[in-house]
Amino acid sequence: MSDSLNQLKALAAPAELRRAPVVENNQGLGWLTDKLSAFAEGKTPLWWWILFIPAAFAATVIFPTCLFYQVFTGVGVWGNNHPVMWGLDIVNFIWWVGVAHAGTLISALLFLTRQHWRTTIGRMAEAMTVFSVMMAGLYPAIHVGRAWFDWFMFPVPNSNGLWPQFRSPLMWDVFAVNTYLTVSTLFFFMGMIPDFAVLRDRSTTRVRKGIFTFLAMGWTGSARQWHHYEKAYLVLCGLCTLLVFTVSSIVGLDFCTAQIAGWHATIFPLYFVIGAVFCGFGMVLVILIPLRKWCGLEQIITMSHIDKVAKLALVSGLIIDYIYLMEFFIAWYSGDPYERWVFGHRLFGHTYMVLGWMLIGINVGVTQLLWFKKVRSNLALLFIIGVLINIGMWCERFVIVVGSLYQEFLPSNWGKYMPTIWDIGLYIGTLGAFFMLYLLFVKFLPMIAIAEVKGAMPQADPHHRLGGAQKEDGHE
Amino acid sequence: MSDKIYGLMAEFNTPGDVLRAAKKVRAAGYHRWDVFSPFPIHGIDKVMGLKNSMVGWVSLAMGGGAFVSGFVLLWFSNAFDYPLIVGGKPMFSVPMTFVPSYILMVMGGAIGALVGMLALNQFPRLHHPLLHKARFELVSRDKFVIVIGSTDPGFSLTETRQLLESAGGLNVDIVEDKD
């Protein structure tokens, strides 16, 4: 017995090559259940209120004020005007869709590739997806100017006998964003059903018990239920993975089907997908790093997980850098004077060149810091890099949208764009609404997928010593 | 005892224990029984002899249906009911339908997966005899439970209890049906 153990030990990989455990200081399934449901059940801490009150103020005062003023008055309250008809509304739309994408990538694509570490951050990333798609979907709806005619975008039989024009990518966008919202919400909800059952069984008050009994829908955790559940989860993961690559591609198509210099490039669908994922990883870092500390989840969301998210941010950042290089190269290589003009002015023009250099400085420059392990293990620095990535990607969308529109083909047609206070107010309002919803989610719902994390533990493996495997079992 | 008996439940401490016990229950020839666990146990499907879940087919049917509906909708709205000339293209062509139909397929497939899962599990269900047992609340925590239903033809209070105890089951207990 001891001989074979020694042999095994000799064969085991050296410490630096061994896979990090999903959860550190693992003390069993009961301990994990207590730990993961503690925040949703405990007393609301002070930091939560300090964050919640300003977020709720932005969401319930600034947001409706800017929204209603714009809807009642018209798009003219924004800075949008000829020739820049797409301003902050579309910039923010793309930015919010982008933030959503990393959540789906983490929860769906990493599930398909069997990355166990995703279980601990998947739920938080999914919540980010659901709430940011909500914010994204709002923008096109009000950007049309007459929000009460939004139903024209859907194929609803009407007395005018008109139908939407389905050859336009803008029309595809309507379908893509609505599908994204629906599917990510379904996925989010379905993933929580077993965890609602956990909170139901742990609840001590009648009200809590009633609410979670209703939400858990009769979940008992039987093998037959898990059997159907796992299949449905797999199918949803596959479909969500399709959406990661589809939704932003279609947003990219909105641009590249237009003839505008700087937009009319075949690289756009890929460009927008990778940009979205990169931006989203920035947001994941911004959300994870403070929450893991304040909610006492250091042993669950380990440094190894943060390190992996940072590495994924680096990979997507490098692809983005490659795309920038290609964009500039093709603009030069095409020999098209308009293309060359637009791309030259992104960096050496006036007015917007600051944003162009911020884009390069952050997305090309700051991203390279993530190569270093010292940086990836420094939480404060990672948080700042996360914020910077979000700013950098916002600048990129601004440069693409406004930078191509303000100097069109005819110099007599040139103009400037400056966002007004209503543009900025609405953006602050959506940020507030996003963080308000996120804080409510963190406080009241299981913010970590309890059942999934348990399933990734050695105690959950019937073929592992800790899972109760015995010698005579052998291997299945 | 006025309540009907729903079945017998036995607790286990590890997934390994419950998997071994499940093999014995299956070998004893029971049909109406189930294993309850806080997470899906690897290999339990094979031990219990569960067939491939139908959820995938429900999803495929709804996703495929949505794809075809999208295709027909585009033909009907842009080529038949209100023919629309865009950029001198033909009134109808297959490529133009692909993206919206594909997106609708994803939507249909996702709704199919969720609805299929809920329907096959007979959700939503707000009452279950097992949810009245205090010990059963630990299943969502760290315990594993096997329940053998009283409707099983081989069910008998004494023999079934013996089987569960010999398989290593702890706290073997009667589950009442209070409905």
Give the SS3 label for residue B12: strand
The 8-class DSSP code of residue B142 comes to T
Q: Which of B39, B45, B84 sits opposite A165 (nearest CB)?
A: B84
Q: Is this model's pTM higher than 0.90 or not?
A: yes
pLDDT score of B29 more than 90: no
Q: What is the pLDDT confidence band of residue A10, given thresholds at 50, 70 and 90?
A: low
pLDDT at A113: 86
Q: What is the pLDDT confidence band of residue A252, given thresholds at 50, 70 and 90?
A: very high
Report the first-to-last Cα separation within chain B, whole angstroms: 14
Q: Are residues B67 and B105 in the same domain?
A: yes
Q: Are residues B111 and B137 in the same domain?
A: no
Q: Are residues B80 and B33 in the same domain?
A: no
Shortest distance between the Cα of B85 and any Cα of chain A, in A, equals 10
Record: contact B111-A224, CB cut-off 8 A: no
CB A419 within 8 Å of CB A87: yes
Count of pairs with CB atoms under 8 A, one residue in A, one in B = 228
CB A466 within 8 Å of CB A473: no
Rounded average pLDDT over B60-84 = 93
pLDDT at A461: 85
- Closest CA in chain A for residue B134: A201
- Note every long-range contact of A156-164, with CB atoms under 8 Å and residues 24 or more positions apart, other chains counting: A161/B81, A161/B82, A162/B82, A163/B77, A163/B78, A163/B81, A163/B82, A163/B84, A164/B77
- Structure token pair of residue A354: 């600051």
Shortest distance between the Cα of A362 and any Cα of chain B, in A, equals 34
Q: Are residues B28 and B67 in the same domain?
A: no
pLDDT at A279: 93
Q: Given B78, B98, B120, which residue is the final one in a domain?
A: B120
- Closest CA in chain A for residue B71: A166
Q: Which ranges of B28-177 does DSSP label H, i.e. alpha helix?
A: 44-48, 55-75, 94-120, 157-166
Q: Which of A163, A227, A239 sits opposite B81 (nearest CB)?
A: A163
Q: Are residues B69 and B90 in the same domain?
A: yes
Q: Are residues B30 and B62 in the same domain?
A: no
pLDDT score of B1 more than 80: no
- What DSSP element (H or E) covers B147? strand B144-149
Record: contact B41-A183, CB cut-off 8 A: no
Q: Are residues B61 and B107 in the same domain?
A: yes
Q: Are residues B77 and B103 in the same domain?
A: yes
- Closest CA in chain B for residue A162: B82
State the total domains in chain B: 2
Shortest distance between the Cα of B152 and any Cα of chain A, in A, equals 17
Record: contact A461-B42, CB cut-off 8 A: yes
Contacts of B124 in chain A (CB under 8 A): 214, 217-218
Question: Which ipTM value was assigned to this complex?
Answer: 0.94
Cα–Cα distance list, A384 to A302, A357, A472 (Å):
19, 18, 53
Using DSSP bridges, classify how beta strands B144-149 and B4-12 pair: parallel, antiparallel or unpaired.
antiparallel
Contacts of A108 in chain B (CB under 8 A): none
Residue B114 is part of which domain span? Answer: 55-120
Shortest distance between the Cα of A170 and any Cα of chain B, in A, equals 11
Contacts of A182 in chain B (CB under 8 A): 107, 110-111
Write phi, then psi, for B173 (nearest 5 degrees): -145, 155
Q: Are residues B47 and B61 in the same domain?
A: no
- Structure token pair of residue A162: 């008109």
Instruction: Convert the pLDDT of each residue in A106-126 to its tens digit.
Output: 888 888 888 888 899 999 999
pLDDT score of A182 more than 90: yes
Record: contact A198-B141, CB cut-off 8 A: yes
pLDDT at A8: 66
Q: Which of A182, A231, A451 sits opposite B56 (nearest CB)?
A: A231
Cα–Cα distance list, B173 to A237, B138, B147 (Å):
39, 14, 10
Q: Given B94, B120, B146, which residue is the final one in a domain?
A: B120
Record: contact B37-A226, CB cut-off 8 A: yes
H, E, C per residue of A354-408: HHHHHHHHHHHHHHHHHHCHHHHCCHHHHHHHHHHHHHHHHHHHHHHHHHHHCCC
Neighbours of A45 (CB within 10 A): 13
Using DSSP bridges, classify how beta strands B170-177 and B144-149 pair: parallel, antiparallel or unpaired.
unpaired
Instruction: Convert the pLDDT of each residue in B75-132 to its tens digit.
Output: 999 899 998 888 888 888 888 899 999 999 999 999 999 999 999 998 888 888 888 8
Q: Are residues B40 and B78 in the same domain?
A: no
- Say how far apart CA B123 and CA A280 lie, in whole Å: 34
pLDDT score of A26 more than 90: no
The type of residue at B130 is L
State the best of B11, B41, B67, B106 to mutate against chain A, taking most chain A CBs within 10 Å: B106
Instruction: Convert the pLDDT of each residue in A423-444 to its tens digit.
Output: 999 999 999 999 999 999 999 9
- Closest CA in chain B for residue A191: B114
pLDDT at A379: 94
pLDDT score of A232 more than 50: yes
Q: Are residues B59 and B116 in the same domain?
A: yes
CB A385 within 8 Å of CB A275: no
Question: What are the structural domains of chain A?
Answer: 25-145+165-457 (1.20.1630.10)
Rounded average pLDDT over B16-26 = 91
- Say how far apart CA A183 and CA A241 lie, in whole Å: 11
Cα–Cα distance list, B140 to A32, A272, B30, B147 (Å):
12, 41, 25, 15
- Structure token pair of residue B149: 């239903």
Q: What is the pLDDT confidence band of residue A5, given thresholds at 50, 70 and 90?
A: low
State the best of B58, B121, B133, B143 to mutate against chain A, taking most chain A CBs within 10 Å: B121
Q: What is the pLDDT confidence band of residue A474, given thresholds at 50, 70 and 90?
A: low
Cα–Cα distance list, A66 to A135, A145, A338, A427 (Å):
14, 14, 36, 9
Q: Are residues B38 and B71 in the same domain?
A: no
pLDDT at A475: 47
Contacts of A221 in chain B (CB under 8 A): 36-38, 139-140
Contacts of B25 in chain A (CB under 8 A): none
pLDDT at A476: 41
Q: Given B86, B105, B120, which residue is the final one in a domain?
A: B120
